[in-house]
Structures are given as structure tokens and as C-alpha cells.
Structure 1
Amino acid sequence: MMEENRNKLIAAARKAFAEKGFAAASMDELTASVGLTRGALYHNFGDKRGLLAAVVAQLDSDMALRAKAIASNVEAGWDRLLAEGVAYIKMALDAEVQRIVLLDGPAFLGEPSGWPSQNACFEATRSAVAELIEHGVLKPVDVDAAARLLNGAALNAALWVAAAQQPEQQLPKAIEVFVLMAQGLRL
């Protein structure tokens, strides 16, 4: 029952935050929409920010899975790692991702590099970078530094695109420079 309530609240919050934004979303309306009370929200998430963190984690996980699915059509190795980064940047045009993860998330939860979901992305990138170095595809650089900088470049490119007045015009610029920067790691 508790897990069911938690899932209901996350789904309702995801919808409300996407439509209204975090600050404007009413917790009373949100909880009432799924037949629960504010007490259920506080019990499961501590407060509204805790609920936002859960929504961001879910969305960020969805983004990682989407990026992997998009890149799965590309041959494993360097091209796949690059394709995942580009797919992540492109998600900055998705209205839900843009508002919740890339705009409200940093504004209310702080620096994204500290989010647990970003740590999972880092570990996946780290593993891929280590393998590419081992196979002589990438220069023999520090694995952690390369993985952090690749992740950071993709994340910051997505943040930049999401915050732009005309995101569709920023997107190709962000992708072009991300690819050029990343290619500096290749042998």
C-alpha cells in the first residue's frame, strides 16, 4: 500500500510539475487528485522538495534508458557512447524533461552533479570510457576525469539548450561542440 501511494504521488507530481512548474504546483490539489492527503506526501517524501527529487530521479532514469535505447542502434564502443550523449542533449527539447529536470531541478534541488541519478549516469560513462581506453580507442587519460567531463559536457549542454530563448536553435550548436570536444579524447 505504501509503495502504491508513493507511485501515485510521483505520477501526480510529474504531471503537475510538467504542466505548472514546481513552484506553482499545489500540493493539496496534487494529493487530492490521487485520493491522498498531504500527510501521505510528507510521510513518503518529507516535503515538496523531496517529492521533486523523487520525480527528477525517475525522469533522469527514464532519460538514461531512452538515451541507451536510441544509441542501441549504433555499433558498441565510441560511437554508442557519443550517441548516448547526443541523445541526452536532444532531450532538452522534451517539455517535461526541460521543465522538471533541467530548469526546476537545479533551481530547487541544487547542482545536478550531486543528484544520485547523475551518479548512476557517471558510473555507466566511467565503465564505457575505461573499456574504450583499454581497447585503444581513447587516449590513456584518467578514467574518472574523462567520464566526469563527458557527463558534465552533455548535462551542461542540455541545461543550456533548455534555458535558451530558442532551444531549437541552440541544440545543433550544443551537439556540434559536444562532439568536437569529446573527439579530443580519441586516439
Structure 2
Amino acid sequence: MQSACEINRCIRCVCQGGAMTEYAAPRTKRAMTAATTARLMAAARDAFAAQGYAKVAAEALTAELELTRGALYHHFGGKEGLFAAVVRALEDDIAAQLTAAWRAAPNPATGLAAVCEGWLDLACDPGLQRILFRDAPAVLGPRASALDGEASRAALTAAIAALAHSGDEPRDDEALARILDAALGDLALWIAASDDPPATRARAGRALDRLLAGMDLVPRPLAVTPDLA
């Protein structure tokens, strides 16, 4: 099975602006496999976002792409495996977006705030709400948290490590990152489940501002914003 990065690259080749496009015929078995998985994931991502996991039929999905049901089971082990792969790809895309926001910030403190605010903004997207914040916990259980927990905490730890604080006691950056990661995850679920996501997003943003202020983080004297990797 291809890595999430390989599959994401293939998705970008076959999916432009949400619409499927023609692609060159693969010349190797590996290329053919990558193209098939990319087609399945691009179609599944749209279907899961529009209909929800429960209403997406594996047979209809493969028939639409003129693939056999066996192709789905061969590459993903079934509908749940395909859904997990879509979730992983979405998390990778989100991580890239948030990293870009971090790098575009004028200083590390602003960058950390941009990462946190960006995550809450994404929770207002209807398609992401359905896939990541409603269906993923129900379908994947603890695996849903495992798919993004490590990457998001690593990014937050790196962002916090780029900041100083005014206290005399040593600071545990990993512990602070875990606290912030848990808070952001719960706020995102709250926004997604709300009857009025924009209003709930505004409330979450105000609470986040107070939380970040209470962490007593100030920029280190860095010439450039460090990488999150």
C-alpha cells in the first residue's frame, strides 16, 4: 500500500478543483496501483464529505469509477480502510496548510496563534466537519485520534519551543503542546456539532486567546521562523 504522501500526490494529479480530470495511462504496475488508489480516494473524499460514511455504498463508488469491488478490498481492505486513508490524507493536507500559516507569520508567537486559529477555522468547513469530527470518531474510534495526534502535537511542540517565557521554572514544551492539542481538538468537535458553527467558532476563538495569553509565551530573539519539522 502506498504512503499517504504518495497517495496525496496522485490525488492532486487526478483531482483539480474538486473535479476528476483525465490522466495519462500508467506504464508500470506501481504507477497503475497508485493511479487506482488515487481515483478511489478522490471519489471517496467527495462522497464521504457530501453523504457521510454510512450512506456511501462501496459498490456504487467502485461502479462509478468502473472498478471492481475487489479493487477496493485489494488496496484498502474495504470501505473502512478507504475511509481511514481519506482521513489520513486530509490530516496531511491540513498539516501542510497550518505549516504554511506558521511559516508566513512575522514571528513565532503570531505563528502559534495562526496555527491554532487555522485549526478552528477548518472545523467550520462542512465537509471536514462530517469526515473528521463526526464520522471519524464514530467509525475509527481511538484510531481517529492516533491518525492526527502525533503530527499535530509535534507541530505544536516545535511552535512552543520557539517561544520563551518569563517564569523562573523550567517549561515542559511537550506537556504544554498536549494540553493545547487536546483543547483544540475538543473546541473543533464543539464547533462541528454546533447548530451555529460561526458563532461557536467566535466563542472558541475568544477562549483560545485567553488560553494562549495564560501560557505566558513570548517570542525568542530569532532572525527567522523555524521549521515545524
TM-score of the pair, normalised by structure 2: 0.75
Among 121, 127, 130, the residue aligned to 1:90? 121
Equivalent-residue separation in structure 2 for 1:81 and 1:26 (angstroms):
40
Q: Which residue identity does 1:9 align to in structure 2?
A: L
Deviating more after overlay: 47-56 vs 115-124 = 115-124
Per-residue Cα deviation, 1:38-90 (whole angstroms, up to 9, x for no partner)? 11111111121111111111111112222233444422312101111111101
Among 117, 135, 140, the residue aligned to 1:104? 135
Q: Which residue identity does 1:58 align to in structure 2?
A: A
The answer to whether the 8 Å contact 1:90/1:171 transfers is yes
Equivalent-residue separation in structure 2 for 1:80 and 1:101 (angstroms):
24
Q: Which residue identity does 2:34 align to in structure 1?
A: E
Query: Could you tell me how far 1:161 is from its partner in structure 2?
Result: 0.1
Percent pairwise identity: 37
State the secondary structure of the residue aligned to 1:93: coil
Segments of structure 2 that go 5 or more residues without pairing to the other structure are 1-31, 218-229
Q: Which residue identity does 1:11 align to in structure 2?
A: A
Equivalent-residue separation in structure 2 for 1:158 and 1:104 (angstroms):
14
Query: Could you tell me how far 1:28 is from its partner in structure 2?
Result: 0.8
Q: What does residue range 7-26 of structure 1 map to in structure 2 within 5 Å?
A: 7-26=38-57
Aligned to 1:41: 72
RMSD over equivalenced CA pairs, Å:
1.8
Equivalent-residue separation in structure 1 for 2:145 and 2:121 (angstroms):
22
Equivalent-residue separation in structure 2 for 1:102 and 1:118 (angstroms):
14
Equivalent-residue separation in structure 2 for 1:105 and 1:116 (angstroms):
10
| 1:116 equivalenced with 2:135 (yes/no) | no
Q: Which residue identity does 1:131 align to in structure 2?
A: A
| 1:183 equivalenced with 2:213 (yes/no) | yes
Aligned to 1:155: 185
Per-residue Cα deviation, 1:113-156 (whole angstroms, up to 9, x for no partner)? 73233311111111222232xxx247532222111111111121
Equivalent-residue separation in structure 1 for 2:70 and 2:136 (angstroms):
23
Which structure: greater helix fraction?
Answer: 1
Equivalent-residue separation in structure 2 for 1:79 and 1:66 (angstroms):
15
Segments of structure 1 that go 5 or more residues without pairing to the other structure are none
Per-residue Cα deviation, 1:79-111 (whole angstroms, up to 9, x for no partner)? 101111111101111111111111111111114
| 1:54 equivalenced with 2:111 (yes/no) | no
The answer to whether the 8 Å contact 1:10/1:54 transfers is yes
State the secondary structure of the residue aligned to 2:123: helix
Q: Cα–Cα, structure 1 residues 150 and 112, in superposed 2: closer, same or farther, change >3 Å?
A: farther
TM-score of the pair, normalised by structure 1: 0.90
Q: Which residue identity does 1:21 align to in structure 2?
A: G
Equivalent-residue separation in structure 1 for 2:191 and 2:197 (angstroms):
5
Q: Which residue identity does 1:66 align to in structure 2?
A: Q
Aligned to 2:196: 166
Q: Which residue identity does 1:157 align to in structure 2?
A: L
| 1:128 equivalenced with 2:150 (yes/no) | no
Equivalent-residue separation in structure 2 for 1:186 and 1:26 (angstroms):
50
Equivalent-residue separation in structure 2 for 1:138 and 1:51 (angstroms):
47
Report how many aligned residue pairs link the two structures: 184
Equivalent-residue separation in structure 2 for 1:54 and 1:159 (angstroms):
20
Deviating more after overlay: 63-72 vs 40-49 = 63-72
The answer to whether the 8 Å contact 1:102/1:162 transfers is yes
